[in-house]
A and B are shown apart, each in its own frame.
Chain A
Amino acid sequence: MSSSATGQPYQPKTSVGKITNFVDTRVGGSAIVKEFGRKIFPDHWTFMFGEVALYSFVILLLSGTFLTFFFDPSMAETHYDGSYVPLRGIEMSMAYASSLDISFDIRGGLFMRQVHHWSALLFVAAVSVHMLRVFFTGAFRRPRELNWVIGGVLLILAMAAGFTGYSLPDDLLSGNGLRIIDGVVKSIPVVGTYISFFLFGGEFPGTVIIPRLYVLHILLIPAMILLLIAIHLFLVVVHKHTQFPGPGRTNDNVVGFPVGPVYAAKAGGFFFIVFGIIAAISAAFTINPIWNYGPYDPSPVSAGTQPDWYIGWVDGALRLMPGVLAGFPFEWNIPFPWGTNTLSLNVLFPALVPAGIVFTLLFAWPWIEAWVTKDRREKHLLDRPRNAPTRTGVGVAGVVFYCVMWAAASSDLIATHFMVSLNDVTYWLRALVIFGPIIGFVVARRIALALQRKDREIVLHGRETGRIVRLPHGEFIEVHEPVDEYKRYKLVNFDSPEALTAQPDVNGHVPKGEKRRAWASKFFFEDRVAPVTPAELEEAHSHGHHGEVASEHDKAAISSH
């Protein structure tokens, strides 16, 4: 609105108008609002998880800033003299003492601590659910592969932010967690002990780890997260949002509502809903009751020591790893000219291999799928999970793999609460961590294929109404109600790549990579259920005499009943 159609400069009449015009002519705000405010977003409840993650991050920044005003990241020794009686006079670090002060002697401190910790759990949970939605609907395909990778990096950063954060209070629980990380670092061959000494500034626990983690937690990691969130959102705007198939929705358009005014209001309101839910939880449920755990001291370890849920799977993997398997030891002492080095595979394997598998597959998946399908077109229409059965199976396998390891992190609680032997829990979970993902893959893929067949059936023959009608000539039929056009659109409009056989190159030779791709393609799409074609639909409706649609004469008879 900085200039009118006649070329005359716009003259605001009110004082508010004058101020806004002054700003607008200098920063060009209306152009931004015009561009961004008319951005169309499609509506679906699963598209809001990213927003939840963003909002919990904003809440983390706000509550975290409050906590930095009172937290003292120092490992200097002190004697607690605050108002929590069961710890009064106990020797502890300044970090732990100031965390106790935040909890008991600073107005609103405990609430803010709980807001910070609950929103941290929600942040990582929302990031995970958001990624699962993107994975299962195929929203990572071209042109969004890089944004998917950025999302993966954000997940790792979120986990790092969580870990560095819950280690800060220097209580017994967090110290136990740091000790495990120290053990994992030390299990790295040859250089492990050096890295550990650099990290802790000498022998564990030392006096520098808390200040170092603090700098990472409040400066480096949040800055990286913010930067990547900015790029992530910028790319969302550049790529435009994906949408589920439906009438009028194609790969070349976005059907939905503009950001302004409806979405802006909704998103703003949703922020307060998320904030309200976190505040309600924080007010009613305690989290990380550090006063129960006492100050960190390397000698005691409490029963039931686990990390927060997003690190729990690594802890679970460590718990599941056998030290010796059928006489094969996982710990070797290797004599080198400079002395003996210990190779602790029983720590190194579980700490690195599961996370390595999950993150390698996660980052590589867009390219794996593009390679298998040879499909490099842009995809703006989402898949329903059932329409990509192999991908859905792989995703479910990953979820099962993760959940079994998370369960293993609470093996002791499973044992006490269900009155079973801890050893048996461990044996079963060891079997499940290997077979569970395979079973999950097969079952999920089968269910997806079955649902696709059901969709086909509905499109071709309509919905079973449960109405049994006897025709004048004595035949009994069940009346099928044809699916309406809008719904049918959703059921037939999807990509269904076919298994591609290996293609020879110009010399008539089939290269090895091509053979491998053909094998993978067969594995992915061999038993695909093809979407209904218009011809099939036409045929099913025209010769409508296998029960679903009776002849004109019969129809009249049915409707008169």
Chain B
Amino acid sequence: MKALSQKRRHPLAAIALLLMGLLLTGGIYAVASNANEAKAQTAFSANDIEEGEKLFVANCATCHGMGAAGTEDGPSLIGVGAAAVDFQVGTGRMPLQMQGPQALQKPVQFTEEQTQQMSAYVASLGAGPAIPGEEELDLEGADPAAGGELFRVNCAMCHNAAAAGGALTRGKFAPTLEGVTDKHIYEAMVTGPQNMPVFNDANITPEDKQDIIAFLNIIEEQGSPGGADLGSLGPVSEGLFIWVAGLGVIIAFTVWLTSRSS
């Protein structure tokens, strides 16, 4: 102990202490964040990986680079996980139609098997969120009311309280969630595609994610209890409607009434 106390005024002591602190917090974070990662559950065969690599080289490597290491035109895909590939390719966002503020949805380009193979290849490059399985997507016992509250707190500021979508800066946007499958919603939450933040399992637990999905399903199924929803866009579409349709019909009646007085 005496040796240590003598060394404590050494010029390098502060640096050594800083290093020790960094190592400690980094180490703890690595352990903790490993616990947050969704475990890869789907078993991919070696054949899947091989076929996936071929598809990747032919269709994705132009932008994402050989070995998915990334280029100026596209980010590295090492460690993004199978879920990211399944979401981006499975919803038709990838391959990218054109460079722009945000990847737009278009008709899906690959079969489910091909998507699976590319997911296998990308998952083999580094650990990342896996494609959610039956267990994650089991909505039995999910609480849509709790999911609604989570949705309003975490999602509504971009996706709108009725999940109708909303604008972000410079041409980016949060899309409507109507018609999106349970699996893709789950994958979006764990991978954070485009401009969406990642909601990992420490942030929103798998049970909470199921609640949110159950909420979205229930509001989609119930439709609009009060009649046509005018796009769920809120007071702007309501105001336009009363000016154009409401006043339009009324003016037609006023013209009719005053045209036959005499």
Contacts and interface: CB of A to CB of B under 8 A. Distances in A.
**A and B form one complex:** yes
Contacts of B241: 281, 285
A119 to B, nearest CB: 9
A410 interface: yes
Interface string A351-381: 0000000000000000000000000000000
A470 interface: no
A309 B219 contact: no
A6 B226 CA distance: 65
Contact of A286 (B170, B171, B219, B225): B225
B246 A118 contact: yes
Interface in B145-178: 145-149, 152-153, 156-162, 164-171, 173-174
Interface stretch (B26-34, B35-43, B128-136, B250-258): B250-258
Interface string A370-414: 000000000000000000000000000000000000100111110
A62 interface: no
Contacts of B4: none
Given A88-B145, A172-B161, A308-B239, A45 B261 contact: no
Given A126-B247, A416-B165, A287 B238 contact: yes
Contact of A300 (B157, B170, B227): B157
A104 B247 contact: no
Contact of B235 (A297, A308, A419): A308
A297 B158 CA distance: 17
Interface string A255-291: 0010000100010011001100110011111111101
B34 to A, nearest CB: 30
| Size range of the chain A interface in the assembly | 35 or more
Contacts of B87: none
A416 B104 CA distance: 12
Given A285-B230, A312-B235, A422-B170, A90 B148 contact: yes
B236 A413 contact: yes
B261 A292 contact: no
Contacts of B255: 45
Contact of A277 (B170, B233, B235, B246): B246
Contacts of B146: 89
A233 interface: no
B101 interface: yes
Contacts of A125: 242-243, 246-247
Contacts of B219: 86, 292
A121 B230 CA distance: 15
Contacts of B165: 303, 416
A488 to B, nearest CB: 21
A103 interface: yes
Nearest to B176: A416
Nearest to A48: B254
B47 to A, nearest CB: 41
B234 A305 contact: yes
A293 B233 CA distance: 12
Contacts of A281: 241-242, 245-246
Contacts of B247: 122, 125-126, 129
Contacts of A422: 167-171
Interface residues of B, number: 64
Contacts of A88: 145
Interface string A30-72: 0000000000000111111100100000000000000000000
Nearest to B171: A421
A27 interface: no
B144 A86 contact: yes
Nearest to A422: B167
A428 to B, nearest CB: 14
B224 A273 contact: no
Contacts of B169: 421-423
Given A172-B152, A301-B157, A303-B174, A285 B235 contact: no
A284 B227 contact: yes
Nearest to B148: A86
A121 B242 contact: yes
Contact of A114 (B164, B171, B173, B226): B226
Nearest to A171: B161
A45 B226 contact: no
Given A103-B225, A416-B165, A288 B235 contact: yes
A192 interface: no
Contacts of B225: 103-104, 110, 286, 289, 291
A316 B168 CA distance: 17
Contacts of B156: 172, 294, 300-303
A332 B162 CA distance: 38
Given A43-B261, A48-B257, A293-B161, A306 B227 contact: no
Contact of A302 (B147, B160, B236, B259): B160
B220 to A, nearest CB: 11
B138 interface: no
B215 A86 contact: yes
A299 interface: yes
Nearest to A410: B236
Contact of B161 (A90, A121, A294): A294
13 contacts: A43-B261, A86-B144, A89-B143, A121-B239, A122-B246, A172-B152, A270-B257, A281-B242, A285-B226, A288-B235, A293-B161, A304-B234, A413-B237
- Across the A-B interface, give the 10 residue pairs with the lowest CB-CB distance, nearest first: A303-B166, A309-B239, A286-B226, A412-B167, A302-B161, A292-B162, A421-B171, A410-B236, A415-B167, A121-B242
